[in-house]
Amino acid sequence: MPAFICSTCGTQYPASKAPPVRCPVCEDERQFLPPEGQSWTTLERLRISHHNGFRQYEPGLIGIGTTPKFAIGQRALLVCTPEGNILWDCISLVDDATITIINGLGGLCAIAISHPHFYTTLVDWSRAFGNVPVYLHADDADWVRQPDGCIKFWQGDRLELMKGITLIRGGGHFPGGAMLHWAAGAEGKGVVCSADMAIANLDRKSFAFMRSIPNFIPLSEKAVRTVGTALMPFAFDRVYSHHWERVIDSDAKQILQKSVERYIAAIGGAYDRA
């Protein structure tokens, strides 16, 4: 039986004879149901119609994204370290070419995912690389559509995956919303992979913070300060958000602090007369 994948959000469901009746991920206000209704595909179909592209952002960091765009359209990040490679966030498509390329770079020792919108085909990704563990924050456990032994729920505000790689719970977009700190990135100045907990804006000079990106639901002051505060103990100069172009190359820590204050001022009415 096929394991059906929601074409709108990319979430895979357990194998079944027919597609699921509904997708709770898309029914939530942080996502959406398209006007034409729910539709479904499978990994086998995706492997025919789509392929993955790769981009090296900097030594030790490679982006992986699907072409043509599928579902939400995020790209994953492969963080390569002397202790082993981490896949940060997932995309729905995992195929032979992707497996061959990643194995050629040393394979995977773990997968970590920021929040439920990017759980996608996490079980297939784990299986493809020898049943590696997949780290999800326990606060979002109820959103898992495919329970599996590969999933390792972590709790609290931080988890050190290995030397120089730390998961940080920022919350915001989801209660367990996580980010990844890579100490050796940006030539040793530090990198944060923020997914869409802190969204790098298209001006590359600021961040945005949203409960729902497609439905433009803002976060509260408390939630935004929590995201910013979670990152402040860490040294970082560069941030990679959830899409190819969503990168802030330098001074990202200072930009984040300023963006938190600008956001809070905006929702408080600072621009009402502008």
Token pair, residue 258, equals: 């300023």
**Enclosing domain of residue 249:** 4-33+52-267
**pTM for this prediction:** 0.97
The answer to the question of residue 40 being in a domain is no
The answer to the question of residue 45 being in a domain is no
Q: What is the pLDDT of residue 273?
A: 75
Neighbours of 53 (CB within 10 A): 12
The answer to the question of residue 71 being in a domain is yes
**Which CATH number characterizes residue 207's domain?**
3.60.15.10
The answer to the question of residue 263 being in a domain is yes
Q: Which residues contact 107 (CB under 8 A, 6 or more apart)?
A: 84, 85, 129, 130
Average pLDDT along the chain: 97
How many domains is the chain built from?
A: 1
The answer to the question of residue 43 being in a domain is no
Q: Which residues contact 97 (CB under 8 A, 6 or more apart)?
A: 51, 52
Q: What is the identity of the amino acid at 256?
A: L
The answer to the question of residue 41 being in a domain is no
pLDDT of 38-82, one tens digit each?
999 999 999 999 999 999 999 999 999 999 999 999 999 999 999
Give the separation between CA 237 and CA 250, rounded to whole angstroms: 5
> Do strands 199-200 and 191-195 pair parallel, antiparallel, or not at all (unpaired)?
unpaired
Contact 93, 115 (CB under 8 A): no
With pLDDT > 70 as the criterion, what percentage of the chain qualifies? 100
Quick one: pLDDT band at residue 138, thresholds 50, 70, 90? very high
Q: What is the pLDDT of residue 33?
A: 95
The answer to the question of residue 245 being in a domain is yes
Residue 207 is inside which H or E element, if any?
strand 207-208
Q: What is the pLDDT of residue 272?
A: 87
Q: What is the pLDDT of residue 274?
A: 67
pLDDT of 158-212, one tens digit each?
999 999 999 999 999 999 999 999 999 999 999 999 999 999 999 999 999 999 9
Q: What is the identity of the amino acid at 268?
A: G
Could you please report the per-residue DSSP string of 119-173? Answer: -TTHHHHHHHTTS--EEEEGGGGGG-SS--TTEEEE-SSEEEEETTEEEEE--SS
214-225: average pLDDT: 97
Q: What is the pLDDT of residue 179?
A: 98
207-227: average pLDDT: 97
Of 75, 107, 105, 70, give the one whose Cα is nearest residue 88. Answer: 75
The answer to the question of residue 185 being in a domain is yes
11-37: average pLDDT: 96
Q: What is the pLDDT of residue 68?
A: 98
Give the separation between CA 122 and CA 120, rounded to whole angstroms: 6
pLDDT of 86-104, one tens digit each?
999 999 999 999 999 999 9
